[in-house]
Amino acid sequence: MACIWDTHSLHFGLLFGILLSFSVTTNGLKLWPMPKSVNYGSKTLYWSTNMQLRTDGSNYADSSGILKEAFERVVNLIKADHIIEAKFANSSVLAGVNVVVHSSDDTLNFGIDESYTLNVPAKGSPLYAKIEASTIFGALHALETFSQLCYFNFTSKVVELHAAPWTIYDLPRFPYRGLLIDTSRHYLPVPVIKSVIDSMTYSKLNILHWHIVDDQSFPIEIPSYPKLWDGAYSYTERYTINDAIDIVKYAERKGVNVLAEIDVPGHTLSWGVGYSSLWPSKSCREPLDVSNEFSFKVIDGILSDFSKVFKFKFVHLGGDEVNTSCWTTTPRIKEWLNNHHMNESDGYRYFVLRAQQIALSHGYDIINWEETFNNFGDKLSPSTVVHNWLGGGVAQKVVADGLRCIVSNQDKWYLDHLDATWEGFYTNEPLTNITNPAQQKLVLGGEVCMWGEHIDTSDIQQTIWPRAAAAAERLWTPFDKLAKDPKDVISRLAHFRCLLNQRGVQAAPLIGNGREAPSDPGSCFKQ
Pick from 126, 110, 121, 133: nearest CA to 383: 110
Quote the CA–CA distance of 402 and 397 in Å, as a whole number.
9
321 DSSP assignment: S
Specify the 3-state DSSP secondary structure of 210. Answer: strand
User: Count of CB atoms within 10 A of residue 42's CB?
Assistant: 15
Phi, psi dihedral angles at 408 (to 5 degrees) = -145, 35
Distinct helix (H) and strand (E) counts, the chain = 18, 18
CB of 164 within 8 A of CB of 44?
yes
Which letter, b or e, does each residue of 166-187 get, where b requires 16 or more Cβ atoms within 10 Å of its Cβ? bebebbbbbbbbbbbbbbbbbb
Exposed, middle or buried: residue 140 (CB in 10 Å: 0-12, 13-18, 19+)? buried
Listed in sequence order, the residues at least 6 apart from 6 whose beta carbon sits closer than 8 Å to its beta carbon are 26
At position 453, the amino acid (one-letter code) is E
User: Count of CB atoms within 10 A of residue 112's CB?
Assistant: 20
Quote the CA–CA distance of 507 and 493 in Å, as a whole number.
11
The question of whether 453 is a catalytic residue gets the answer no
Please tell me which residue in 321, 371, 429, 516 is annotated as part of the active site. Answer: 321
Quote the CA–CA distance of 192 and 458 in Å, as a whole number.
10
Residues with a catalytic annotation lie at 321
